[in-house]
Chains A and B, each alone.
Chain A
Amino acid sequence: MEFKHPYLPVTKEIESEMLNSMGKKSLEDLFGNIPEDYRLKRDLDIPTSKTELEVARRVQELASKNKSADTGRVFLGAGAGIHYIPSVVPALATRSEFLTSYTSYQPEISQGMLQTLFEYQSMMAELLGIAVVNSSMYDMATGLAEAVLMAARVNKKRSRFLVPDTINPVHLQVINTFAEPAGITIEQVGHDQKSMLLDLADLRSKLDNQVAGVYVENPSYLGFIESQVDEMSRVVHDAGSLLVAGVDVLSLGILQPPGDYGSDIVVGEGQYLGSAVSYGGPYLGVFGCRDSMKLIRQLPGRLVGMTRTSNEPYERGFVLTLVPREQHIRREKATSNICSNQALVAVTAAVYTSTLGPEGFRHLGEIIAYRSHYAAKQLNKISGVTAPAFGASFWKEFVVRFEGGVSARMVHESLLKRDLHGGKILTEEYPEFGESMLLCVTELHSKTTIDELVEVVRNVVTNGGGTR
């Protein structure tokens, strides 16, 4: 019997008709160039075709083996953010015309996507306090790696790059993957043991005319706010290096934008802007720089520019621009190999950002600050628990330390039993912190749930792991 499938509109009968029209007898005539030796002479070892209903059932079966974090009972952050997504966001961003288009190579019929991406670039620029934002990188980690490469292209004769030793360790790993073949050395700058802030003396001692750029994370991976940014900016620029800032875009309703403290290149994670955590991807590398042609010419990724029609009456329009930086023109001399990016996630971020507006960003920043501090204060009341474990100030995430023979793992397991999920366990990566966990509190975490979390922790610490 003929195999029919909804995705395949050519029936056997039409197939013959098409073959006849080109003077061919069978499909085999079209595959004659593939040598016999390289033909697969068996069926693929892949299950047979399923109907849509069967596929839906299989997906549900897999999904039900997971525990969804949409309950507001998961206190994880560490580079992926669980936030509320207003209903307009997915409804608009996944409209089929956005979803199923390619890169806007034909601007005449792609003004919708181009204008949306221009608006994305523009709104991110406002949030970050910087002039230029590209139309997306893969995620913050790869965005940062590209920022390191870009800094070394701008400062051509320099091949060292400095990062704080409190950097997100995964970001450090990704940077190293990209920097090593480019001949760039990544070096770590120490921190003050108590405040965790960057050790400015160490920074000064490491800065010289070989340093292409210096990275500042704000708030840092470990949650604390790096408050010495103005001083860092001065020191870094005096050495002729670039300041690269990595920020939490959601914090920018209340925290100082990186453009204001002189950042030359800015990166951030745009998943927080209306995209689900989705087990780590697709995310959005927000990537921007100052309004300087020296920098802009070295930018990786696609840029949408505003222009007008060539002839009167002039009409405003949008196009992909500064294309000669890119791989399809410049090939091995391109500023990056990036081709497919995260455009739809940028569209999502554009809808989210326009939905929140300035008032929403400020309010969200405040809610998160209040709730995370509430959680820390309640945890800190427990004897044997320190929260935050260090740092003068924090916004969304903080490290909590457990003492008195209670391990972070025990706390984690006890929370899981109560259908709660604690923060990322740091004990192995940061043995110097002792038994510790990186907690993340957002607008999704109600006071009730935070109280519940605190109660479980209190029980574990008080009873040495036994819960009621």
Chain B
Amino acid sequence: MMRKLLQLSVAILTFFAFTSAASACTILGYQPELPEQLKDM
């Protein structure tokens, strides 16, 4: 159960990361350093 919840949350967090990488910046006023894997998206 815990593992399934973690996997679901990983999907959501990855979605946040990719949508943020595709946009101009984060939707609130803090921009963490973009990881190398998401640069040039």
A binds B: no
- Residues of chain A having any CB pair with chain B under 8 Å: none
- Residues of chain B having any CB pair with chain A under 8 Å: none
